[in-house]
Structure 1
Amino acid sequence: MILFAILIALLGLALTAGGVYLLTLGGSPYYLLAGLVLLLNAWLGYKRHPLTRTLFAVFLILTMLWSSWESGYDWWALAPRIGLFLVLAIPLLFSKEADNGGRKVLLPVWAVLALMTLGSVLANPHDLSGKLDTQVDSESPKLGNSPEDSWYAYGRTNMGQRYSPLDKITTENVGQLEEAWRYSTGDMKGPKDVGETTYEATPLKIGDTLYLCTPHNWLVALDANNGSKRWVFDAKVPPESQRQHQTCRGVSYLPPSSGEAPSAEKLDIAAETQAPVQCDAELFLPTSDARLIAIDPTTGARCANFADNGELDLTHNMPFKQAGYYYSTSPPVVANGVVVVAGSVNDNYDKNSPSGVIRAYDVKTGELVWNWDSGNPDETAPIAEDEVYTTSSPNSWSVASADEELGLIYFPMGNRTPDQLGWYRSENEEKYSSSVVALSLKTGQVEWVQQFVHHDLWDMDTPAQPVLLDLDTVSGKQPALVVPTKQGDVYVLNRETGEPIFPITEKSAPQGTVALDNASPTQPISALTFRPPTMTEKDMWGATPLDQMMCRIQFKSLRYEGQYTPPSEQGTLVYPGNFGVFNWGSVAVDPKRQVMFGMPLYLAFTQRLVKKDGSDMGPANQGEQGLNSNDGAPYAVDMKPLLSPLGVPCQQPPWGYVAGVDLKTGETVYKHKNGTVRDLTPLPLPIKMGVPGIGGPVITEGGLVFMAAAVDNYLRAYDLSTGEELWRARLPAGGQATPMTYLNSQGEQMVVQVAGGHGSIGTTIGDYVIAYKLKR
């Protein structure tokens, strides 16, 4: 009884103190009342009073009633609210102290509430079950120019569908998949690397060779049959502490004029030391020190015919050239005789940063064909040597798509830095930020633009590659473009005109900014959306009542009037947060069945404007999470996830899902929790919780979806029609890259996943490329 009294007294003191503070913020009175009851219970226990057990039984009942009222019948919500108190009741149940009457009250109450809590494990209130209509369209859809057995571009083709027509692996035999081979690149995160060092590459399969890049911009050629090394080109990228990202998502490919895929040679010496050669086919490698390198697919040598012996300096004509502030993390687009390159500009380091210009170069010579600068959008003729592009104009850091028949290329656009300070933007920059823009492949002129956030103050860049398909609608078949966004909307547009296929409406948005700024009175929303409901204090979460209370204090201390609450010096809750509901992994679309598979996730962030008063702010320019200086601006910005004192998200799970959408109707047919806590807790328990992830899915003709992405280290196969997980394989490192699939020379379907981890979400670091195939 004494031990019980001590534990309850300590917990009661903490809850009372925190509960008083929470109440002053306008929060729930429960924690204060619970703390006072526990203090009384502790005093009674210390005095060995006969009411000790009875009072605790009443407290448990009232706590269960309050918990159920707040959260419903949901294990992940109930257990943190009442679980600790049920555990603390155990000493009372087995204490030898007299008071059998109290024990007779407490024991049945404890047993019933424990069974109710455990029973909630079987409930699944967040699940949406259904079955997609996967009847194949009778017409042959456009799949792009990649041969069926190959993977020619980041999304397989420039259409960005992440769909393969291969069907040898099916829902019936996927359980027979096993590892076929494994390759370690040797490129690992080093002590001088930035925190956001990530392995996000999707390989290409051309002929009998796989080509992939590594975080430090090595281009690796592997035998597609057995994973053995053919050659490695090392771009020799030096470390740079001011880069926000150290990654490479992929390379791009120009087929030879003959149309036949090259046959790579196995070399015993480093490919980068080879003398430049004349190239017909070319691979294009973007680097994190702002170069574009053209490489011969056969030998790995640089292409003598492209730019300066195969290397193009992308800092040319930039208004500012701070080291590490500009580079490309995503593969360029090769289409209609040009290679089109965009770039990533560091967020919130300096208001005077490099331009977000998008440039098209001749694929064979590297000569500049056109440049489109969103700060000066009408002048697309190649800029003169002594001219510069617009300072800090909105950039496109993700992957673009192209329709070679229409002659259009589609870029998901970011924001002008600083992200949270909007008064530096020109009228043109306002027009093109946080949008998708369609440019002419021939001239770079704008054909149309559709904006997804007006006057973006939250870093809601359009992060994902647009997906192209021909879609059956009530108006007939339309050339469609599907764009998922950070804020959770999925926009479906006519890719020829930019007109919405699914309606877009405007909703009122919160107002009130710092003195120099303004907020848009309305924001767009798509009829197809995965936006979460407005968060409330009830949504705060923690492993115990204590850290749940601390999360509530955080929540009530922040400014939050719903989505698009403007940034503030007080600190603003941003939900969905900077990781978005969707990110660069995009979605996969089956153009035959006209369905979409995606991985929506839900994590809240905080953003606080830090007014510069000349005092030392401490370490700055910490990347996407932390304090960034915004040099030249009156405010720095501090951004981070909303986490409990234990370092877990403050909001109630699930945090991650898989979802299936019928694109013909816009209906979300299923939505299931995705991923386990195996790699989030000290004990490796594969409890399905719905965890965050970053990466993308791949759909196959066999009715399957392959995806890793989640923060537990697994590659999974799902049934496309239902979203049910059918198979999974344990990965040696985080799988934050989109997989791909192809046929080897024996006609066997292979599935390849890069597993190397992700710096900012803390998954296991590695350097693996792993291939799977069916057992023979």
Structure 2
Amino acid sequence: MAIVITSILFIIFGLALGAGGLWLVTLGGSVFYLFAGLMFLLTAGLLLMRKAVALWVYAVLVVVALAWAIWEVGFDWWQLGPRGGLIILFGIWLLTPWIRRPLGFRSPTGTYYGANPWPLAIPVIAAIIVALYSMTTDPHDLAGDLPIQTVATTPAFGGNVPDGEWHQYGRTPYGQRYSPLDQITVQNVSSLKEAWRYQTGDVKRPDDVGETTYQVTPLKVGDTLYLCTPHNWAIALDARNGQQKWKYDANSGMNPDRQHQTCRGVTYYSDEAIPAGQPCKERVYLPTSDARLIALDATNGQICTGFAEQGVLHLQTGMQYNPAGYYYSTSPPVAVAGKIIIGGAVNDNYSTKEQSGVIRAYDINSGALIWNWDSGNPDQTTPLPEGQHYTTNSPNSWSVFSVDDQLGMVYIPLGNQVPDQLGMNRSADVEKFSSSVVALDINTGQLRWVQQFVHHDLWDMDVPAQPVLLDLTKQDGSVVPALVAPTKQGDIYVLDRRTGQPIIPFKEIPAPDGAIPEDHTAPTQPISDLTFSPEPLQEKDMWGVSLFDQLACRIDFHRLKYEGRYTPPSLQGTIVYPGNFGTFNWGSVAVDPERQVMFGMPTYLAFTSRLVPAADIPPRGQDEKGSEQGLNRDDGAPYGVFMGPFLGPLQIPCQAPPWGYVAGVDLRTGRIAYMHKNGTVHDMTPLPLPFKVGVPGIGGPMVTKGGVAFLGAAVDNYLRAYDVTNGRQLWEARLPAGGQATPMTYTTDDNKQYIVMVAGGHGSVGTKPGDYVIAYTLP
């Protein structure tokens, strides 16, 4: 009976592998799967005929599979396992008495012998030895150390923020995500314990859009923490114990057309002209998902009615088109020189008639418009006259700005004009400013410089991250005001922030062509000498938990259009790698301005995009919700786009892990010192497996003078601490929900240093939702 059941299984496997393998061969792929299918079928036939040679035939399959796997991927366990796992398990089964005995023979003396196991046992044992050896190696690990010496003895942090406080999204206007606190060190961080926990009460709702996320980094001013929630509540907490001081609900409502429901932070401002103790001397500005900016008294959460229209600034003003739910601000504006400067997120790929991506500066006290900079009309920065409107669909900035008030510039990461994948009919100004960093004059909004990182962007490669500012000491000892710009495509651009010119060189390289007939591609694209851009995918990089889903991914790899980075969108479907989540995203990187090193979390997850002719797009349904994944309609355009991660039949990535790392960079030399896999599959699988494969993440890091980096972000629910010098993990704490936010740190009046992490989950990556604010400190 065991022989029959085994033979039937082999026949099923053989037919599946053979048919899929034949398809793969016709597409120009590997012949192994066809060979394996035929060997399974041949083994099955010989088993049914009770021929001992079946073990010899299967031994050939084991030997060929082992040789083929090592030839393709070397001694990488996570790649070898899917290639050989089922084959070796079946090999072990064939060696059992239940299979060998029926294949045996009777000697002339009448003794019955099972089939000789050794022809099959030897290659099976060899394969197991290779598997065990591969578990001890990590071909993807780059070990090394960052320099430990202090380069800048009096570093510029930006602003005037006390060491124990955190006044802006990146702590200071420079966005370094660096704290000069050193109570928590590499030596004692493993002793961190939870100090307090607060739940906001703002939880994900059944009618929320898929992209409902909790990305906030709290501010700490005086003895108070200020934060916002996905549905636009502003909350103040006692920094010592997490007790709520006040809460304000913006009542921004629900709208299924919003692509995002999130708030990354609030903006704090203190008006020196108002006497202490007077109302609204200290303010918190709350951006909302219905396109408002609300001024609140920081002491009690009451609306500051002197700002704009009874405390509320309406950001839809000046838009030619204003579809509800298509425009909002997800990131905190910046407060500088008596102004509050704000951009706005525009839904990707919804319509050709959406709001403008204009950047505006308002009087921080009155809410009066001072200047506007519209990348579709960049020269007119004086307030727009009554009756005129900003450029429809001009590139927007949904991320966080940085400021150098000494140079008088605000630095803005810009996105693309929607529809992202369709580049026809873009103006010269849009082509100039899309996917760039621009420096604007704080007082006038006039352009000071622009540096573009993707030409004629067809891939949604927005510049997603807050630029990081520091004064960089070059190898010759000279000091240059620098700007560090992480990008989705994995390049790190280090520029002179006075002029936008490169400090670390970058160059133009040829880019693939082959756009749809109505469009074109840029012949070259820039790439920095400091880059985390991955090597182009190959068929051997396709992955799965078994031969079968790996085979399916290999077939899809050949069916989709792919010629490396910047392969243009197509009707057949295109692989986009790095994908839309980006190698770096809004979490940016953390920079130690004293040691002049960078800590980041490069992520690698391929996406696919497929253009859909407008005539083939179904009518809009009543239950549609905003999303960047799935069908993006592009109303008014000749094509929509169907997009999402490149996944196999089991909804796991088609590309092999690792998908996520932590990495360290010496910014003075541009040298990547280390890259280590980050995160486990604990929350990606039905069983809480601890396997450290390096998982995707979205969020940001923080570093401290104590030499410790803190990072959540990964799709397993942990907050972790790392040694900044070598990237090795030092500590971790299990979070009750996804930690897709950036941690921060502060001290209280008793000089205790706290680490604070928000855990609320992220709809895009499917982590567990929640409403937690958690503080840790040393015992």
Separation (CA, whole Å) in 2 of partners of 1:44 and 1:511? 52
Separation (CA, whole Å) in 1 of partners of 2:727 and 2:560? 37
Question: Which residue among 58, 64, 72 is the counterpart of 1:70?
Answer: 72
> Could you tell me which residue of structure 2 aligns to residue 221 of structure 1?
236
Question: Which residue among 102, 115, 120 is the counterpart of 1:97?
Answer: 102
What's the CA shift for 1:460? 0.3
- Aligned pairs (5 A) from 1:149-160: 149-160=164-175
1:136 aligns with 2:150: yes
> Could you tell me which residue of structure 2 aligns to residue 443 of structure 1?
444
> Could you tell me which residue of structure 1 aligns to residue 6 of structure 2?
4
What's the CA shift for 1:683? 1.4
Instruction: State the AA in 1 paired with 2:473.
Output: D
1:189 aligns with 2:194: no
Structure 1 stretches of 4+ with a deviation exceeding 3 A read: 98-102, 617-622
Question: Which residue among 742, 747, 761 is the counterpart of 1:743?
Answer: 747
> Could you tell me which residue of structure 1 aligns to residue 107 of structure 2?
none
Instruction: State the AA in 1 paired with 2:683.
Output: D
- Structure 1 pair 371–258 and aligned structure 2 pair: CA distance change class (3 A): closer
Matched position secondary structure for 2:615 = coil
Residues 112-150 of structure 1: per-residue CA shift (max 9 Å, x gap): 211211221111100000010021125311112211010
Question: Which residue among 659, 662, 684 is the counterpart of 2:663?
Answer: 659
Separation (CA, whole Å) in 2 of partners of 1:668 and 1:615? 45
- Structure 1 pair 614–64 and aligned structure 2 pair: CA distance change class (3 A): closer
Separation (CA, whole Å) in 2 of partners of 1:102 and 1:602? 47
Residues 302-355 of structure 1: per-residue CA shift (max 9 Å, x gap): 112110121000000111110100000000011111000100000100011100
- Aligned pairs (5 A) from 1:446-457: 446-457=447-458
Matched position secondary structure for 1:712 = coil
Residues 7-37 of structure 1: per-residue CA shift (max 9 Å, x gap): 1111111111111111111111111111111
Separation (CA, whole Å) in 1 of partners of 2:641 and 2:170? 34
> Could you tell me which residue of structure 2 aligns to residue 531 of structure 1?
533
CA contact (8 A) 1:348 1:630 kept: yes
CA contact (8 A) 1:416 1:429 kept: yes
Instruction: State the AA in 2 paired with 1:329.
Output: T
Separation (CA, whole Å) in 1 of partners of 2:570 and 2:483? 35
Separation (CA, whole Å) in 1 of partners of 2:760 and 2:751? 28
- Aligned pairs (5 A) from 1:570-585: 570-585=572-587
More displaced stretch, 587-596 vs 43-52: 43-52
What's the CA shift for 1:528? 0.4
> Could you tell me which residue of structure 2 aligns to residue 164 of structure 1?
179
What's the CA shift for 1:90? 2.5
Instruction: State the AA in 2 paired with 1:152.
Output: H
Matched position secondary structure for 1:423 = coil
What's the CA shift for 1:480? 0.1
> Could you tell me which residue of structure 2 aligns to residue 271 of structure 1?
none
Instruction: State the AA in 1 paired with 2:504.
Output: F
Residues 257-296 of structure 1: per-residue CA shift (max 9 Å, x gap): 1799x89xxxxxxxxxxxxx94222111100000000111
1:473 aligns with 2:474: yes
Separation (CA, whole Å) in 1 of partners of 2:241 and 2:560? 54
What's the CA shift for 1:58? 1.3
- Aligned pairs (5 A) from 1:366-377: 366-377=367-378
> Could you tell me which residue of structure 2 aligns to residue 268 of structure 1?
none
- Aligned pairs (5 A) from 1:519-598: 519-598=521-600
What's the CA shift for 1:617? 6.7
- Aligned pairs (5 A) from 1:669-708: 669-708=673-712
Matched position secondary structure for 2:248 = strand
Matched position secondary structure for 1:7 = helix
> Could you tell me which residue of structure 1 aligns to residue 108 of structure 2?
none
Instruction: State the AA in 1 paired with 2:16.
Output: A
CA contact (8 A) 1:279 1:305 kept: no
Separation (CA, whole Å) in 2 of partners of 1:422 and 1:407? 34
> Could you tell me which residue of structure 2 aligns to residue 24 of structure 1?
26
| Percent of matched pairs sharing the same residue | 58
CA contact (8 A) 2:702 2:710 kept: yes
CA contact (8 A) 1:163 1:588 kept: yes
Instruction: State the AA in 1 paired with 2:338.
Output: G
Instruction: State the AA in 2 paired with 1:321.
Output: N
> Could you tell me which residue of structure 2 aligns to residue 266 of structure 1?
none
CA contact (8 A) 1:51 1:102 kept: no
What's the CA shift for 1:621? 6.7
1:634 aligns with 2:648: no
Can you give the 5+ residue segments of structure 2 that lack an aligned partner in the other structure? 105-113
Question: Which residue among 251, 255, 260 is the counterpart of 1:245?
Answer: 260
Question: Which residue among 216, 222, 234 is the counterpart of 1:201?
Answer: 216
CA contact (8 A) 2:192 2:778 kept: yes
CA contact (8 A) 1:605 1:639 kept: yes
- Aligned pairs (5 A) from 1:483-522: 483-522=485-524
CA contact (8 A) 1:52 1:102 kept: no
More displaced stretch, 605-614 vs 581-590: 605-614
What's the CA shift for 1:107? 1.8
1:37 aligns with 2:39: yes
What's the CA shift for 1:91? 2.1
How many pairs does the alignment contain? 761
1:303 aligns with 2:304: yes
CA contact (8 A) 1:609 1:637 kept: yes
- Structure 1 pair 285–622 and aligned structure 2 pair: CA distance change class (3 A): closer
CA contact (8 A) 1:415 1:456 kept: yes
> Could you tell me which residue of structure 2 aligns to residue 267 of structure 1?
none
- Aligned pairs (5 A) from 1:43-122: 43-94=45-96, 95=98, 96-99=101-104, 100-122=114-136
Q: How big is the alpha-carbon RMSD for the aligned residues of Structure 1 and Structure 2?
A: 1.4
CA contact (8 A) 1:178 1:774 kept: yes
CA contact (8 A) 2:287 2:331 kept: yes
Matched position secondary structure for 1:122 = coil
> Could you tell me which residue of structure 2 aligns to residue 124 of structure 1?
138
What's the CA shift for 1:230? 0.7
What's the CA shift for 1:101? 4.5
- Structure 1 pair 91–408 and aligned structure 2 pair: CA distance change class (3 A): same
CA contact (8 A) 1:401 1:467 kept: yes
Separation (CA, whole Å) in 2 of partners of 1:692 and 1:411? 26
> Could you tell me which residue of structure 2 aligns to residue 360 of structure 1?
361
Residues 56-112 of structure 1: per-residue CA shift (max 9 Å, x gap): 111111001001111110000000000111112232111232434541221222122
Separation (CA, whole Å) in 2 of partners of 1:210 and 1:242? 32
- Structure 1 pair 770–259 and aligned structure 2 pair: CA distance change class (3 A): farther
Separation (CA, whole Å) in 2 of partners of 1:203 and 1:774? 20
Residues 386-413 of structure 1: per-residue CA shift (max 9 Å, x gap): 2110010000011110001111000000
Instruction: State the AA in 2 paired with 1:699.
Output: V
CA contact (8 A) 1:349 1:621 kept: no
Separation (CA, whole Å) in 2 of partners of 1:536 and 1:614? 32
Separation (CA, whole Å) in 1 of partners of 2:197 and 2:279? 33
Question: Which residue among 748, 766, 769 is the counterpart of 1:765?
Answer: 769
CA contact (8 A) 2:475 2:669 kept: no
CA contact (8 A) 1:8 1:42 kept: yes
Separation (CA, whole Å) in 2 of partners of 1:46 and 1:640? 45
CA contact (8 A) 2:712 2:719 kept: yes
Separation (CA, whole Å) in 1 of partners of 2:195 and 2:730? 19
More displaced stretch, 99-108 vs 580-589: 99-108
- Aligned pairs (5 A) from 1:382-397: 382-397=383-398
Separation (CA, whole Å) in 1 of partners of 2:618 and 2:732? 49
> Could you tell me which residue of structure 2 aligns to residue 649 of structure 1?
653
CA contact (8 A) 1:369 1:382 kept: yes
CA contact (8 A) 2:258 2:625 kept: no
- Structure 1 pair 615–253 and aligned structure 2 pair: CA distance change class (3 A): closer
Can you give the 5+ residue segments of structure 1 that lack an aligned partner in the other structure? 264-276
Instruction: State the AA in 2 paired with 1:112.
Output: A
